[in-house]
Amino acid sequence: MDFSIEYQDLVSIIISIICGGIIGFEREFRNKSTGFRTIVLICLGSTLFTIVSRYGDGSDDRISANIITGIGFIGAGVIFKDKLSVLGLTTAAVIWTTAAIGMAVGIGYYGIALIFTVLTFIILSLVTRVERLIENLQKNKTVNINFRDGDCASLSLLEEKIKANRLKSKTVQISKHNNTLNAVLQISGTKENMDHLNEIMMNMPEITDFF
């Protein structure tokens, strides 16, 4: 029974907690589903598996492959489809990157692990600012709309309002069920005009709901 621990392994554990903590702090601050504790444990677990692989006989590649497979399974668990959009892709990518950082720490590549930690933190921190910048530019949005009437007159009226708000629209799909017309439109334009259109649609009696 061996309770000894090498100095390099102890350093790896400490740096792993620091790296995971930096990325986890950003995720927790933004109130993401995968928060501080989860990210730290993912990084620490990957580091531990990589440390163990260094003491095995020819098992390095197999353990590394299993880490990647396991992390892919965890990442897939945070991705889900919400109507017309897919959520959780960024969180899954963060989990994948954190595991890679943990593996780098386990091998002993502390410099590159710290560099990637800082880069990941900067990228995640700048995401909101970049998204806000993009929102002010031309953007596309897919809208699913249900009309009270089953004819196309309500859809034509909405298309006129879209043009009046200096927006462009393209009908992606149209269907009718129980005298209710459903249309999926691809709308492009500025965020300001998009917001104004949302207000108009909320006040249109012809529209029962949209998302």
Query: What's the number of CA atoms in the CB half-sphere (13 Å) around residue 22?
Result: 22
Rounded Cα distance, 9 and 15, in Å: 10
Homologous superfamily (CATH) of 139-210 is: ACT domain (3.30.70.260)
In tens digits, the chain (211 residues) has pLDDT values of 455 667 888 888 888 889 988 888 887 777 776 778 878 888 888 887 787 777 655 555 666 677 777 777 777 777 776 655 567 777 788 888 888 888 888 888 888 888 888 888 887 777 667 667 766 666 778 888 988 876 778 888 888 988 888 888 888 888 887 778 888 998 888 878 888 888 888 888 888 888 8
Radius of gyration for the alpha carbons in the chain, expressed in angstroms and rounded: 25
Q: For helices 89-107 and 60-77, what crossing angle results, to 10°?
A: 160
pTM summary value: 0.55
